[in-house]
Each structure stands twice: as structure tokens, then as C-alpha cells.
Amino acid sequence: MNSIGTSRRSRSISLLSSGGDCDLPDACVDYVRGFLPPQTADGVFDSLIKQVQWRQPKIKLFGKTFLSPRLSAWYGDAGAVYSYSGLVNQPLPWLPVLQVLRRRLKDEWAWNPNAVLVNWYRDGRDSMGWHSDDEFELGNEPTIASISLGASRRFLLRHQKHKHMPIYELVPEHGSLLIMAGSTQKFWCHSVPKSAHAVGQRVNLTFRLVRKNERIS
């Protein structure tokens, strides 16, 4: 997760405004509403809040150390090590609830991730800064499958080079799946900004396929 400084555009337009397609240049983005039916999504949300080994690590950004602005955990196959913001994440063994979701991605999208980053945004003060998921261990043109649970939060996308382009906004719903693939991480960065309004808790899962990195594993 390479962080990119904040700046410029304040307006954003809905990513779904053009009839439901996530039609962005230099990107391949798919949004699936109701990937999990509401009751299943409720159950997964509750299980994750209870079962995940949540932590709030210290991260390094622009040479400074901060407490991560959310809780998180990294689960995956042995050796699926993932480093970002000065953190080396050794995988925790899969929870059954995460295995079920991984299996669905394999069966329905013919794609078998080997790890997942779980984030818990406890309220509107928790957030995720601008970044691209373009680390070495994710390989070229990585696929990221993002499942959202709980409260809806704004998810923003901004082109890294074409500064004249607007910021695009999506508000992923409870039980939805967002797939980012192809050149999306090369050309776009994304964020979940803080919310000034009262918002409930949200859990987000980003499934990834990590190349086993002999330099650090």
C-alpha cells in the first residue's frame, strides 16, 4: 500500500452515475451489489468483529511514525507476507469465515487469493489514506477483491497522472464486492476519508494474491 499525499480536487462524482458501470479510463473496476445477502453479511460482520485478532499498528508515512487510523489484521497462507508503510505483515492462519469467502471468489471469479487484509473502521474518525495497492509482492496488475460490511463509507478513486480528472466516489454497500484489476493500481489511487457525520462501524476485506517474497519471508 503505497501512500500518496493529499492535495487538489475536492469535488467528487459518483462512479455509478453512468448507468451502473464502473467505467474508468486506465482501470478495470467491477461493483457487485448484494454479493452477500443481507443476513449472511450480518453474520460475517459479527463473526469478524468477534474473531479477528485486531490490532492498531504503528505505520511509517513520509518519514514519520503514526498509529494506524483503523484496526486491521492480515490472514493468509503460510509465507504470504505483505509489507506496506514500514509494516511487515506475517499471515495469521485463515479463519473459517474468511475461508468461505475466499472459496466463493475462487468458484465464482476463477481467482484464488492467498491472503486478505481485514480493516475495521470503528467510526467516522477511522480512515484509510490515499494509496495504490502496488507493492512488489502483489505483482504486475494485481487483482484486489474488496468486500464491504456494516456502515456505508465513501470510497474515493483518483487518477495519479491526469490531475484534471475528477475524483470518483463509490459508497460500497453492506455485502457488496468491489473488484479492482488490470491497470487500476498503476494509474489510480484510492482512499476512505474520515467522515464528519456520525457513522456506524464498517469492516472491509481486501483479498489479494501475494507472491511469496523470498527477500522477506
Positions touching ligand AKG (CB under 6 A) are 1, 117, 119, 128, 133, 146, 148, 155, 190, 192, 204, 206
Q: How far is the CB of 202 from ligand AKG (least distance, A)?
A: 7
Q: How far is the CB of 192 from ligand AKG (least distance, A)?
A: 5
Residue 200: CB atoms within 10 Å: 13
- Nearest to ligand AKG by Cβ — which residue? 204
Q: How far is the CB of 128 from ligand AKG (least distance, A)?
A: 5
35: closest CA among 172, 185, 200, 190? 172
Residue 164 or 196 with smaller CB distance to ligand AKG? 196
187: closest CA among 155, 169, 161, 164? 161
Residue 62 or 164 with smaller CB distance to ligand AKG? 62
Residue 41 or 214 with smaller CB distance to ligand AKG? 41
Q: How far is the CB of 23 from ligand AKG (least distance, A)?
A: 20
Assigned C-alpha cell, 83: 509489507
Residue 95 or 204 with smaller CB distance to ligand AKG? 204
For the chain, report the end-to-end CA distance as a whole number of angstroms: 18
Residue 15: CB atoms within 10 Å: 23
Q: How far is the CB of 112 from ligand AKG (least distance, A)?
A: 19
Report how far residue 134's alpha carbon sits from residue 104's, in angstroms, rounded to the nearest whole number. 24
**DSSP letter (8 states) at residue 55:** B
191 close to 204: Cβ distance less than 8 angstroms: no
On the CB side of 164, how many CA atoms lie within 13 Å of its CA? 0
Residue 95 or 178 with smaller CB distance to ligand AKG? 178
Residue 1 or 98 with smaller CB distance to ligand AKG? 1
Q: How far is the CB of 84 from ligand AKG (least distance, A)?
A: 8
The C-alpha R_g of the chain, in whole angstroms, comes to 16
Could you give the 3-state DSSP secondary structure of residue 211?
A: coil
119 close to 204: Cβ distance less than 8 angstroms: yes
